[in-house]
Structure formats: structure tokens, C-alpha cells
Structure 1
Amino acid sequence: MKKKIVTILAAALAMAVVLSGCALTGGDADKKATNEKLSIVCTNFPEYDFARQIAGDKADVTMLLKPGAESHTYEPSPEDIKKIQDCDMFVYVGGDSDEWVEDVLDSVDKSKVTVFRLMDQVKTVEEVTVEGMEPEDEEEPAESGEEEDEPEMDEHVWASPKNAATIVKNMAKTMEKLDGKNKQTYEKNADAYVEKINKLDGEFREVVKNGKRKEIIVADRFPFRYFCEEYGLKYYAAFPGCSTDTQPSAKTVAFLTDKVKEDKIPVVFHIELSNEEMSKLIAEATGAKSRLLNAVHNVSDEDFRNGATYVSLMEHNVEVLKEALN
């Protein structure tokens, strides 16, 4: 995977140091002494939603990625970095989309900021390129004596409701350690949200069990590997999940179009905040329908203001998956 270079990071880090001064705030001791709310900063929407569902009104939860923004091209501002430095708990994915985090964390006092990485909470799998998928640009080979890059692990761990439930449970335990006086609230809220996620998992299993087919076509990036493996679905797609490409080759479009025709696929998916061009093109060529399958990277500004949650977005997926498998 070609790595994204964050061009403003060095300047932003320097500015953040100026903004924050020498002292960093945070930590359980500060909460006990001042009775302030726990401060939690999250990079993207799924982790933000998990944190706010657990916290209720007992913590201040912030999302760095603005609603409607593309998560894979986000770059932190000096203000964003200051928020990370000043918070009690920082939550990030740990994959390609937020690789800038490691440099920021080098500037943070780890004794005062608790770091929670989503990819550490569940078993991860390597990102793969399946038949028909647009290959990514190859990186320059390592020179003699240099270490070769490690395999690219798929970062979209929340796409599986089972994983999401595990992440919520572990996140709640971390919050309880930081803010013991609100332990019961965090525990109760986490249990309630996990129950909703488990119900969602059951709905997906029922849809797949009763479906006439076990195959989906995603004419877009593919951040659904954990989802498909959880429910035993075969898939074809245009790009890997963290691809920076948006324009497929004619060969890729032709392959997916032929696959829809050959396998009589009734629905072609695109993900949120996509231009939908490819899914509409293939749908028009095949008679299939173009539908949104939420990857829950982020939400539109309208959905955010209307109170969209991980569960509500995935409930939409239950309905469109039922249409796609029948």
C-alpha cells in the first residue's frame, strides 16, 4: 500500500507545542481533583459513536474528522493536535488512514494521555486484492540492508458487529479505569449498546441464512472484509479498502459488469460519501440497482445532525443486504 505523506505534520506539531505550552492536562488524578468530565478525542465516526454511547453525559467526546470529510485524506491541524495533547483518552484506528498518529503521539506525554487503538482490540487480517480488483501502485523496493514493509493489515475492524461489540466492551473498561466514579454508568451504557449490536448481528445472520445467494458486488473501495468473513459472503470489488484511487480502469469496470450479469446479481453497492459513478454505470449496463452499503468511516453533515449512529447505519445495511442476496 502506498503510504500517505502528511505534509503539514511537522509544522502542525511545532504549532501545537506553542499552543499547549509546557504543561499538558489530563489523567485520572486531575479528574478526581477538579471533578471535571473525562475528555475523549476520537479520529473517526465509529469510535466516536462507541465512546459517546458509553459516556452518555459523563464525558466530553470529540471527533477530529469533520462530518462529510474523507477519512483517508484527513490531515490534523495544529488545533487538532492540541486536542490530542490535552485530552485524557485518545482513540484511533491504527491503520493506513491515520498513520499520521504515530508522529503526533511522539509529542504527547503518555503518562497523561491514555491511548486506545482499535486494531489492538480484535484479531486483524491482511488486506488482500481479489480477482478483478484494481491493483494498487507498488512501493519502491527496499534497498539492501533496509527492512521490508510489514504486511498491510485491514484496518476496518468495526465492519463486523462482533468486532464492534468487543471494541465497545474494551473501550468501556478503559474509561472506567480513568474515571472510576462513573464506572457504573459506563458499564451500564456499554452493556445496553452491546445488546443493540448483538441484535444487529443476529439480523445479519438471519438475512444471510435466508438469502438465495452468498455474493455481493461493491463497485467502490472495499472496507467490508471483516463483515464478509463474519457472515460467509463472497465478494468482488473495484478497489482495496484504503485505496487512494477513485478512477477504475475499463478492465475493472468490465470485469464487475460481467460478474453482475453472469451471477445475476440484483444490487451493486457503493459506500458512503462516494461519487457513485461506477455503481450507477454498472447498474445501468446490467439492470441491477445501485445501493449504499455503509462502511461507517464517516457520515454526512445531515446524518450527523440527525443523530446517525453505528447501529442505525448498519440497520440500513441489513435491509440493502436482504435486497442484494435475494
Structure 2
Amino acid sequence: MKRFKRVLTLLSLSAVLAIAGCGSGKSTVTHGGNASSANNQTLDASTTETTKLKVKTSFYPMYEFTKQVAGDLADVENLIPPGIEAHDWEPTPQDMAGISDADVLVYNGAGMEGWVDQVLESIQGTGVSGIEASKGIEIMEGTAHSHDHGEEGEHNHDEHAHDHSEEGEHSHDEHAHDHGEEGEHSHEEHAHDHGEEGDHSHDEHAHEHAEEGHHHDHGGLDPHVWLSPAMAVKQVRNIEAGLAEAAPEHQEAFKANADAYVTKLEALDKEFRDGLKNAKRKDFITQHAAFGYLAQEYGLTQVPIAGLSPDQEPSAAQMAEVIEFAKEHNVKTIFFETLVSSNVAETIASEIGASTSVLNPIEGLTEEDIADNLDYIAIMRQNLDALTKALNE
């Protein structure tokens, strides 16, 4: 039934785009987003009457990164309202009309937005350009246990393509993340089998979620790139490059804004490295397999209860396996996340006598987050505090 509804939605979206035609170009009216950014210091236009890009972003991290780069040189609006889980959201005809009226659509890619390939195909020829923030980043397979095989956070960056000294340089020869070319990822060996409920075939067209009817399993790939501050730097640089292409007259301002924000992200990255390098333990149990990039970057082991999609229910066998692991490793904290039910994490915690705590994948802000003026960096610091406490119990 859900697959049938999705197909009808996409047909409606195509009809809306056919009516909307070309985007209306640039605007001088500020619409803002749905979430505030703390301490957003950016270079703005030198005149009060400057043409502004109209930008739509797919979900919160893309909104935050784009706002930081664009400053007051673009009207940036987030598509997903506060409090809505990003994985299962799909654009309405009204959303599609807004996208077709924009200059730029910024999205994460890597299969995070199951609707984006269809949308990008539909807006061809409308003048709307797409910016894939994860372009050029090596995308991980969504494995059961995401960890670094080195010692104490030492990473082989030749294998993982994490060269942070070349922030703006992206290699597309071997790992070009082109979702338009039939999703050429072989999942026959790495099928992300989540038990009886999550057995998906990824042999062909792994990214065509709308047509294949996959339940936002991301084609077996892990799209949660933004949860590594080091990878967030690369996403910001991709957004900078895309905005500069869309509005070359503001290229220098975009670069200055991006440089300022990258400095903050690099400081955040250092906080994570310093805070986690001497942790007593390296493994952590989380309800949602969203922290693979974070784990890999800082020498940790992620033990997810379920899979890449937060609403995926673990099988009884998976629950038993995690409980056994927790008992053997004396785990005292089970992490759950905002925007989804904590029942699974609480069940396991009760079984082993552990406590629960929040590890936020930052897929969207809550109304409380907005009221507290929290942003990406502030929430990531909360994540660091939660991890540091759990890993030193």
C-alpha cells in the first residue's frame, strides 16, 4: 500500500512540475528557514538591493550548512518541517512547486533522500540546479558493526579517502557518487540483511526507492555523512562550490563564509578527537545505525540494534545478539535518538540493567531545539558529551 501511495505521489509531483515550468529566477525577499542558526557570522551583500538565490534544502543539516555558506546572499528554506523524521518524508505537490520556483536544491545524496532522483529528473530544463553535498565522499556500506580497524583512531586515509588537508578537492574518478547512472553498487556480497523484516534485494538500481518500493533502506549504503565533522567540512565545500556556480558574482563571499564555518567545524573535529582518544571503551550501542562515519573517524565501534532506517524494527535474533554483546562487554548505556520511539532501546536497557541516553543523528530539529537556539555544532557537542560519559563508565 505504501509503495502504491508513493507512486501516486510521484505522478502528482511530475504533473505539478509540468504546470510550473521554469523556475522564476532570483528574489530580493527573505523567507528564511524553519530553524535558527546560532552565532551565524557571514559576509553579506554590499547593497540592500541585491539579487538573492532562492534555495531549497532537503533536511536540517543541509539547511544549516547552506545558510552558513550563503549568509544573506540567498533565501534558504528547508523542505522538512521541524519535528518530522527525514527518512520517510516525501515532497508534496506544493513542495514540488516550491522546488521548481527555486534556483537551487541542496540535498545530501548517498540515498538519504529516496525521492531526489525522481525530482532531479523532473526538474531538468527548469533552470533549477541540484547540489549533492556528499559528492566525492566515499560512501560506506551499511554494515552491522561500523568501526575503525586501526588503533586509537589512527586511520588509513588512503583507503578511506579522508584527506582533510585537501578540503575542497574531491576525487570523482573511482568513487564518483553518481546516482543517475543506474546506482552501480554491488550489494550481492554486502546485502544489509536486517533479519526477517529487512531482507531487501539490492542487485539492481539500489537507489531507485520510489520505483522499487524499498523502505528507505538507502540501497544498503550509509548516507549519514554529516555526523562526522570532518566529512561535514567536505559537504560544506561542495555546497560552496555549487552556490558559486549558481551565483558566480558572490563566489568570494561564499568562500569567506565557508572558510569561517569550516574553521568552526575543524575545531569541533579536534574536540571529538581529543575527547574520545583516551576513552576506556570504544564500543557503543545505538538504536539507529547512523553513526558509522563518526565511529570510523574517531576509532570507535558502533553496535546498532536495528538498521539504517530509524523506524526499522529489529528481529528477535538481533535483539538477542545485542543483549548478549551488552552483557559480555558490560555496556551501561543504550543510546536512542530524537524524533523516533525509544521503546527498543529501553527494552534492551531494562533487560541488562543499563540506562538510556540520547545520541542525536541531527536529521531534524525539534521545536525544543529551536526554542533553545541549538544548531548543528551545539548538538554535536551534546553528542560528544553523551559519548564521552558512556565510554568512560
Q: Partners in 2 of 1:172 and 1:185 — Cα distance?
A: 10
| Alignment of 1:9 onto 2:10 | yes
Equivalent position of 2:305 in the other structure? 238
Shift in alpha-carbon separation, 1:323–1:27, aligned structure 2, 3 A: same
Q: Which moved more, 1:276-285 or 1:162-171?
A: 276-285
Gaps of 5+ in 1: 29-33
Q: Partners in 2 of 1:4 and 1:240 — Cα distance?
A: 24
The Cα shift of 1:111 comes to: 6.6
Equivalent position of 1:138 in the other structure? 199
Shift in alpha-carbon separation, 1:23–1:257, aligned structure 2, 3 A: closer
TM-score by length of 1: 0.86
Equivalent position of 2:123 in the other structure? 108
The Cα shift of 1:148 comes to: 6.8
Q: Partners in 2 of 1:25 and 1:285 — Cα distance?
A: 57
Equivalent position of 2:59 in the other structure? 44
The Cα shift of 1:225 comes to: 0.8
Equivalent position of 1:194 in the other structure? 262
Q: 2:69 aligns with which of 14, 33, 54?
A: 54
The Cα shift of 1:210 comes to: 1.6
Q: Partners in 2 of 1:17 and 1:148 — Cα distance?
A: 26
Q: 2:239 aligns with which of 163, 168, 171?
A: 171
Shift in alpha-carbon separation, 1:171–1:148, aligned structure 2, 3 A: closer
Amino acid at match of 1:240: G
Shift in alpha-carbon separation, 1:63–1:4, aligned structure 2, 3 A: farther
The Cα shift of 1:277 comes to: 1.2
Equivalent position of 2:181 in the other structure? none
Q: Map 1:85-164 to 2 at 5 A.
A: 85-110=100-125, 112-130=127-145, 134-135=194-195, 137-139=198-200, 147=204, 149=206, 152-164=220-232
The Cα shift of 1:5 comes to: 7.0
Shift in alpha-carbon separation, 1:265–1:204, aligned structure 2, 3 A: same
Q: Partners in 1 of 2:136 and 2:26 — Cα distance?
A: 22
Shift in alpha-carbon separation, 1:129–1:257, aligned structure 2, 3 A: closer
Amino acid at match of 2:357: R
CA RMSD of aligned residues (A): 2.9
Q: Partners in 1 of 2:5 and 2:386 — Cα distance?
A: 36
- Structure with the higher fraction of residues in helix conformation: 1
Shift in alpha-carbon separation, 1:88–1:148, aligned structure 2, 3 A: closer
Offset from partner CA, 1:67-122 (integer Å, 9 cap, x none): 11111111211111112112111111224442212112222144722211123141
Secondary structure of 2:348's match? helix
Shift in alpha-carbon separation, 1:278–1:244, aligned structure 2, 3 A: closer
Q: Partners in 2 of 1:24 and 1:295 — Cα distance?
A: 33
Q: Partners in 2 of 1:5 and 1:221 — Cα distance?
A: 26
Amino acid at match of 1:268: I
Equivalent position of 2:363 in the other structure? 297
Shift in alpha-carbon separation, 1:153–1:110, aligned structure 2, 3 A: farther
Secondary structure of 2:131's match? strand
Q: Partners in 2 of 1:237 and 1:312 — Cα distance?
A: 24
Number of residue pairs matched by the alignment? 314
8 Å contact kept, 1:221–1:240: yes
Amino acid at match of 1:56: G
The Cα shift of 1:64 comes to: 0.6
Secondary structure of 2:220's match? coil
Offset from partner CA, 1:256-286 (integer Å, 9 cap, x none): 2232222112221112212111222222333
Offset from partner CA, 1:188-237 (integer Å, 9 cap, x none): 2211211111111111111221211111111x121111111111111211
The Cα shift of 1:305 comes to: 4.2
Q: Which moved more, 1:285-294 or 1:70-79?
A: 285-294
Q: 1:288 aligns with which of 354, 361, 374?
A: 354
TM-score by length of 2: 0.72
Secondary structure of 2:223's match? coil
The Cα shift of 1:3 comes to: 8.6
| Alignment of 1:24 onto 2:23 | yes
Q: Partners in 2 of 1:3 and 1:116 — Cα distance?
A: 27
Q: Partners in 2 of 1:254 and 1:137 — Cα distance?
A: 17
8 Å contact kept, 1:55–1:189: yes
Aligned-pair identity in percent equals 31
Offset from partner CA, 1:113-167 (integer Å, 9 cap, x none): 2211123141212222349x8435334697xxxx575863211111111110111
Q: Map 1:299-314 to 2 at 5 A.
A: 299-314=365-380
8 Å contact kept, 1:260–1:286: yes
Q: Partners in 1 of 2:367 and 2:18 — Cα distance?
A: 31
Shift in alpha-carbon separation, 1:3–1:162, aligned structure 2, 3 A: farther
| Alignment of 1:203 onto 2:271 | yes
The Cα shift of 1:292 comes to: 0.7
Shift in alpha-carbon separation, 1:172–1:96, aligned structure 2, 3 A: closer
Offset from partner CA, 1:42-80 (integer Å, 9 cap, x none): 111111100011122221111111111111111211111
8 Å contact kept, 2:54–2:76: yes
Q: Partners in 1 of 2:346 and 2:311 — Cα distance?
A: 20
8 Å contact kept, 1:214–1:234: yes
